[in-house]
Structure 1
Amino acid sequence: MGRVAELNGTDRVVVVGGGMAGAQAALGLRQGGWRGAVTLVGDEPHRPYDRPPLSKDVLLGKSDSTAFDIDWDHLGVELLPGRRAVGLRPGLLQLDGSIELPYDALVIATGAAPLALPGTEGAHLLRTLDDALALRALLTPGKRLVLVGAGWIGAETATVARQLGCEVTVVEAGPAPLPGALPAELGALMAAWYADAGIVLRCGAAVAGLEPGAVLLADGTRLDADEVVVGIGARPATGWLAGSGIDLDPSGAVLVDERLRTSLPGVWAAGDCTSYPSARSGTRLTVQHWDHALQSGSAVAASMLGSDAPYDPVPYFWSEQFGRMVQYAGRHTDADRLLWRGTPADADWTVLWLRSDVLVAALSVDRPRDLNQARRLIDRATRLDPGRAADPAVPLKAAAAD
Structure 2
Amino acid sequence: MTLLDGRTTPSPAASALDLFERTRAQTRALVQPLTPEDMGLQSMEDASPPKWHLAHTTWFFEEFILKPSLPGYRPRDERFALLFNSYYVQAGPRHTRSKRGLLSRPSVPDVLDYRMHVEDALRDGLARDAFTLNQEDLDALITLGCHHEMQHQELLVTDLLHAFSYNPLLPAYAEPKPAPVYPVQDSAWTRHEGGLVEIGHGGSGFAYDCEGPRHKVWLEPYQLAGRPVTNAEWIAFMEDGSYETQTLWLMEGWAVREREGWDTPLYWWRQDDGWWTYTLQGARPVDLAAPVVHVSYYEADAFARWAGHRLPTEAEWEAAAAPTRIDGNFLESGALTPRAGLPGLWGDVWQWTSSAFAPYPGFRPPDGAIGEYNGKFMVNQMVLRGGSCATPERQMRASYRTFFYPHQRWQMLGLRLAADS
TM-score (norm 1): 0.25
Instruction: Decide which structure has greater helix share.
Output: 2
Q: Would you tell me which structure has more strand in proportion to its own residues? A: 1
